[in-house]
Amino acid sequence: MINNLSVRDVMTQDVLSVERNQKLSTVDDIMRLGRIRHVLVVNETGDLEGVVSQRDLFHGGLLKALGYGARAKEHALDTLLVKEAMNTEPITTTPDASLQSAARLMAEHKIGCLPVLEAGRVVGILTEGDFVLLAAGQKPGVP
């Protein structure tokens, strides 16, 4: 089944994004409320600048675990900016790439998402969750 599919067939098209100078607390809120693990970072013209993953926000959990408490975590996330935590060199794919090659790329680089670019513009995101939905027989690409 996966052999005949392209990234376009499975990717999520409704992409949540932030700008690099927003506070990390905004990303934390988006991830928590949207129940997602990756947020794309775009500039004012919509070009991809990076990715912030739940892993990038781990330091907040580390602060809490070290005894700084939830308030200190919130303060840290409220004082740090997205550009200080984001991955500035994300690995990307295109909508027409085979799903199999995208899966290999994610496994090879041990990453949980691929921003999907067409003519340099963000058109979607392919995540591990999209693969899980596909395997479960649910309609891929629907949040």
CATH class of the structural domain 2-135: alpha beta
Q: Tokens 């670019």 map to which residue?
A: 117
Q: Tens digits of per-residue pLDDT, 25-75?
A: 899 899 999 999 999 999 988 899 999 998 877 754 455 555 555 666 677
Which amino acid is located at 31 in the chain? M
**CA separation for the pair 141, 2 (Å, rounded):** 14
pLDDT per residue over 82-138, tens digit each?
898 899 999 999 999 999 999 999 999 999 999 999 988 999 999 999 999 888 888
pTM assigned to the model: 0.84
Q: Which two tokens stand for residue 59?
A: 């330091």
Cα dihedral 12, 15, 61, 19, rounded to 10, equals 160
The domains of the chain are located at 2-135
